[in-house]
Structure 1
């Protein structure tokens, strides 16, 4: 039971960090978890910067496809959280 709470807490912290990266990169005061990257004005340069910073955050490589397919902070966080959980379980 504690493991679930720990993972939820880790996921919330991860989402906060990813949100901050998106907001800073896109020049916004805030970004909602379900706002679309494209609708926020994101372009290929923004995408590369976001991916690079998230890679530094998690110390793992990501494809730019992750951002393009997940499209939101929440989607990216879910993907990264699952990826990290799989690495941890391996």
Structure 2
């Protein structure tokens, strides 16, 4: 089954936080002599451009700002406008830090729900932009 189909199926049946960030296709699981999964023998998943394709450049300063915050919080470089927060390894602890940093920088108080509804850089930047235009700044 192609990864996109597997991901779509899981996203329909699981909460977003339970969908794996990365998938590795194996012909069979490596086993120990006791017939248990040999975790040390599992291959490392592909990350970055090898896994996700080319990085999409941010379109404006707000997207660049969101990327900078995500890079800082997630400890990753090479994040693009189409990247998905949870697929990059983001979790609820990271989410709280990102919300706080965006509030400090832009004066907008986002809900955690915003991340689940708009988990990409460009979608979250749109959420921030809409909040700023609606006068929802917390300053």
The bucket for the TM-score relative to the shorter chain is: 0.7 to 0.9
Corresponding residue number in structure 2 for 1:39 = 87
| Equivalence for 1:75 | 123
Aligned equivalent of 1:50, options 75, 79, 98:
98
Q: What is the rounded CA distance, in whole Å, between the counterparts of 1:84 and 1:38 in structure 2?
A: 24
The answer to whether the 8 A contact 1:51-1:67 is kept is no
TM-score relative to the length of structure 1: 0.79
Q: Which runs of 5+ in 1 are unaligned?
A: 1-10
User: In the aligned structure 2, how far is the partner of 1:36 from the partner of 1:18?
Assistant: 12
Structure 1 partner of 2:110: 62
Q: Which has the higher contact order (CA 8 A, sep 6+)?
A: 1
1:24 matched to 2:75: no
For residue 87 of structure 1, give the secondary structure of its aligned residue in structure 2.
coil
How big is each residue's C-alpha offset from its partner over 1:15-34, in whole Å with a ceiling of 9 and x where there is no partner?
11111000111110121111
Q: Which runs of 5+ in 2 are unaligned?
A: 1-58
TM-score (norm 2): 0.53
What is the CA RMSD across the aligned residues, in angstroms? 1.6
Larger Rg: 1 or 2?
A: 2
Report the Cα offset of residue 60 of structure 1. Answer: 2.6
**Structure 1 stretches of 4+ moved >4 Å:** none
Q: How many pairs are equivalent?
A: 78
Relative to total residues, which structure has the larger helix share, 1 or 2?
Answer: 1
